[in-house]
């Protein structure tokens, strides 16, 4: 009798995995939750007898994959795949897939919330009023959003959705820096290089994938080009920004502020200078979340695993081999 298929969830965090179990029951697979907490050795141990894996944040290394002879697929709960060794997986003919088509509404909502909180000094005003202050409107300058320029670094689904919402706020121009796009891909926006975007934008929102080329793409040089009233928003990946360079600019008020949901190190270290700055609004990598997005994410990730276990290719296959 053939051994039952085993799908390992490498990170916990969801209330239930009944969705995955119901979907994967079609092929008789058992879903097993193995919280690995970013421990590469724990991932390797969990994958030894896995036919497929679902992962949120823990690293899936070449060593872990080489010790998983039954593994046919690693599917990321989400968009970013920088923690999975795709080259090693391709060499072993293990599919790597992600879920790029979920959460665009939630992440763009959160980017707007961070932007508005910084523009209107919402957090500072809340603290001031709680401490008895009143009539302090002009202590910190505020600027109207309508008529200003939005810069989008990366122009995928989330950036498109964010643009739509910001158009409703009345931004006058939208600049896009994305080397993978052509003018034909970007109707209604201005395709520019990153230095131009940094120099001309009032709001700069990060939406690029994290790769070796995009790590620290927003560094001291790019930040030095920004207007003193510029605001940086990051709901993409923390390492897209050189955090030390951003902190230095915020400390000397070289730019107006930042709204950050992601960081170079997560959780954000308690000794991070970002925590002490009053021109930054912080959240805990939560832009992706709503009750609807969780259901969508779990369903779509499980469906990718199901396709592979049925002998099909995943829809969002990200480590293609043999020219496929």
- pLDDT 10s per residue in the chain (324 long)? 457 999 999 999 899 999 999 999 999 999 999 999 999 999 999 999 999 999 999 999 999 999 999 999 999 999 999 999 999 999 999 999 999 999 999 999 999 999 999 999 999 999 999 999 998 878 889 999 999 999 999 999 999 999 999 999 999 999 999 999 999 999 999 999 999 999 999 999 999 999 999 999 999 999 999 999 999 999 999 999 999 999 999 999 999 999 999 999 999 999 999 999 999 999 999 999 999 999 999 999 999 999 999 999 999 999 999 866
Of 289, 263, 285, 308, which is closest to residue 102 (Cα–Cα)?
289
CATH 3.50.50.60 fits 104-282, yes or no: no
Catalytic, out of 164, 266, 312, 320: 266
Q: What is the pLDDT of residue 14?
A: 93
Reduce the DSSP state of residue 95 to 3 states and report it.
Answer: strand
Instruction: Tell me whether residue 270 is one of the annotated catalytic residues.
Output: no
Q: What is the pLDDT of residue 1?
A: 45
Instruction: Tell me whether residue 237 is one of the annotated catalytic residues.
Output: yes
Q: What's domain 6-102+291-309's superfamily in CATH?
A: NAD(P)-binding Rossmann-like Domain (3.40.50.720)
90: its two tokens: 């391709």
Strands (DSSP E) found in 59-133? 73-76, 95-97
Catalytic, out of 6, 157, 215, 285: 285
Q: Exposed/middle/buried for 252, CB within 10 Å: 0-12, 13-18, 19+? A: exposed
pTM of the model: 0.91
6-102+291-309 and 104-282: same fold?
yes
Q: What is the pLDDT of residue 2?
A: 58
Strands (DSSP E) found in 17-139? 30-33, 52-55, 73-76, 95-97
Catalytic, out of 72, 121, 237, 307: 237
CA 23 to chain centre: 26
Domain boundaries, the chain: 6-102+291-309, 104-282
CA 205 to chain centre: 12
Q: What percent of the chain is helix, strand and coil (3-state, nearest 5)?
A: 35, 15, 50
Q: What is the pLDDT of residue 114?
A: 98
Is the distance from CB of 120 to CB of 144 less than 8 angstroms?
no
Q: Exposed/middle/buried for 232, CB within 10 Å: 0-12, 13-18, 19+? A: buried
Q: What is the pLDDT of residue 66?
A: 98
Give the single-character DSSP code of 251.
H
Residue 236's CB is within 10 A of a number of other CB atoms, namely: 27
Q: What is the pLDDT of residue 46?
A: 98
Residue 208's CB is within 10 A of a number of other CB atoms, namely: 23
């Amino acid at each position: 009798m053939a051994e039952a298929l085993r799908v390992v969830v490498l990170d916990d965090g969801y209330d239930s995995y009944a969705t995955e179990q119901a979907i994967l029951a079609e092929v008789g697979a058992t879903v097993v939750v193995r919280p690995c907490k970013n421990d590469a050795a724990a991932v390797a141990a969990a994958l030894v007898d896995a036919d497929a894996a679902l992962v949120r944040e823990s690293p899936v290394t070449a060593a872990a994959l080489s010790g998983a002879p039954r593994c046919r697929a690693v599917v990321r709960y989400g968009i970013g795949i920088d923690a999975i060794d795709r080259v090693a997986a391709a060499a072993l003919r293990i599919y790597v897939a992600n879920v790029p088509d979920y959460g665009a509404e939630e992440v763009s909502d959160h980017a707007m919330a961070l932007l508005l909180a910084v523009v209107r000094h919402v957090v500072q005003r809340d603290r001031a009023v709680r401490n008895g202050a009143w009539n302090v409107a002009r202590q910190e300058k505020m600027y109207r959003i309508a008529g200003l320029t939005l810069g989008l670094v990366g122009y995928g689904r989330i950036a498109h959705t964010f643009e739509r919402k910001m158009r409703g706020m009345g931004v006058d121009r939208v600049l896009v820096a994305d080397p993978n796009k052509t003018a034909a891909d970007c109707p209604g926006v201005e395709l520019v290089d990153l230095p131009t975007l940094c120099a001309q934008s009032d709001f700069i929102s990060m939406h690029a994938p994290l790769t070796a080329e995009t790590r620290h793409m927003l560094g001291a040089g790019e930040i030095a080009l920004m207007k003193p009233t510029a605001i940086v928003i990051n709901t993409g990946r923390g390492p897209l920004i050189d955090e030390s360079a951003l902190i230095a600019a915020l400390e000397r008020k070289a730019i107006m502020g930042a709204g950050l949901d992601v960081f170079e190190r997560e959780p954000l270290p308690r000794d991070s200078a970002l925590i002490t700055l009053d021109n930054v609004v912080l959240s805990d990598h939560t832009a992706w979340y709503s009750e609807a997005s969780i259901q969508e994410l779990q369903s779509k990730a499980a469906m990718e695993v199901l396709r592979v276990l049925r002998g099909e290719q995943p829809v969002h296959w990200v480590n293609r081999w043999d020219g496929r």
